[in-house]
Amino acid sequence: MILVLVVLLLGAGASADLQCSVIPGRLKQVDAGAGQVYGVNDNDDIYQWVDNDWRQIPGKLIHVTVGPAGVWGVNRANQIYKLQDNAWMLVTGALKQIDAGGEKFLSGANGYDWIYCLNQDQTLSRSASLSYTQLDGSLKYYSCGRYGCWGVNMHNNIYYRHNVKPNACRGSHWQQIDGSLVMVEVGTDGSVYGVNANGDVYTRERISASNPMGSSWTKLDFCGSFRHVSCDQEHIWLLTKDGDIYKCKVSGAAVPTL
C-alpha cells in the first residue's frame, strides 16, 4: 500500500501543496534526472524506478546519478562507472560523489573534497579513458543543472559556480550563497533543493536564466528528518535518515523559468 500525504510548503514568495507518497523500500541515496530515477541501498545494491516499482540493476555502487549526461556511479573504492550499452563500464578517475545533471557534462567530488568535471565531449565519448578538469576550491558535494552548479563544503557553506558551460565545465569563479546545507541537488530544470544538518529540506526560490542564483531559501514544512533530496520534472524524491522513501509532486509552486 502506498500512503499519500499532503504537505503545505510555505515561505517568502512561495505557497504550494506537496502531494507525497511513501514508496516501498529503503535507500541511502537517490537521484532523479531526465525522467529517470536510480538509487542505492545500504548493501550498495542499485535500483531503477520503473513502472512504479524498483528494478534491481546488476552491480554495486555507493552513489548513482542520472541526467542528460547519462547514468554514472561510484563504488566503495571511488572507482567511476558509466552505464553504456546496458552494462557498467569502468572509466578513469576517482570520485566519492558524482552528478550527471548538467547539460551532458559531469561533475563531482573526490575523497579529498577536490572538485572535478567532465566536459560534454568527454561524457559523450565511448572511451574508458577520460580527461577531467579540476576546479579550484574544495567541496564535499557538487551538483549541476540548467542554470549552473551548486556545492557545499565541509563546513556546510553553500557556493554557486559562475559561467559553467557544457564544454567549459570549469566555469570562472565561486560565489558564496547564504545558508547552511549538508548536501544540495540541482534538477535538470534548474531547480535547487538541499538538506541541512538538522534534516530540514529547503528549496531555492525565483531561479531563472536571468537570476540563476535565485533569491532566498524556503523550508519545506515536513514532520520528519531527511538526509537526501533529489528533484526532476516537478517531482521531489526524499530519503529519511532511516532510508524511507518519499516521492512528492509539487503543484502550484513557481518553477524555474527560461
Q: What is the CATH number of the domain that holds 243?
A: 2.130.10.30
pLDDT beyond 70 at 4: no
Among the residue ranges 15-29, 72-86, 222-236, 238-252, the one predicted with the least confidence is 15-29
* H-run or E-run covering 239: strand 235-240
pLDDT beyond 70 at 11: no
pLDDT beyond 50 at 15: no
Taking the C-alpha atoms of residue 61 and residue 102, their distance in angstroms, rounded to an integer, is 21
Q: What is the mean pLDDT of residues 32-43?
A: 97
The SS3 of residue 137 is: strand
In 61-154, the DSSP E strands lie at 63-67, 70-74, 79-84, 87-94, 97-99, 106-109, 114-118, 133-138, 141-145, 148-152
Are 190 and 211 contacting, i.e. CB atoms less than 8 angstroms apart? no
pLDDT digits (tens, 9 = 90+) for 124-133: 999 999 999 9
Would you say how long the chain is, in residues? 258
Model confidence, pTM: 0.91
Given pLDDT bands bounded at 50, 70 and 90, which one contains residue 256? low
Decide if 243 is inside a domain. Answer: yes
Decide if 256 is inside a domain. Answer: no
pLDDT digits (tens, 9 = 90+) for 178-210: 999 999 999 988 999 999 999 999 999 999 999
Given pLDDT bands bounded at 50, 70 and 90, which one contains residue 222? confident
**What is the chain's mean pLDDT, rounded?**
92
How many domains in the chain?
Answer: 1
Decide if 257 is inside a domain. Answer: no
Residue 16: per-residue pLDDT? 52
Decide if 258 is inside a domain. Answer: no
pLDDT beyond 80 at 17: no
Angle, CA of 56, 34 and 88, to the nearest 5°: 40
Q: What is the mean pLDDT of residues 14-34?
A: 86
pLDDT digits (tens, 9 = 90+) for 51-105: 999 999 999 999 999 999 999 999 999 999 999 999 999 999 999 999 999 999 9
| Phi (first) and psi of residue 121, to 5 degrees | -65, -25
Decide if 73 is inside a domain. Answer: yes
Taking the C-alpha atoms of residue 156 and residue 172, their distance in angstroms, rounded to an integer, is 22
Q: What is the mean pLDDT of residues 115-128?
A: 97
Q: Which domain holds residue 13?
A: 3-251
Decide if 51 is inside a domain. Answer: yes
The SS3 of residue 113 is: coil
Residue 224: per-residue pLDDT? 87
Residue 78: per-residue pLDDT? 98
For 107, the grid coordinates are 561533475
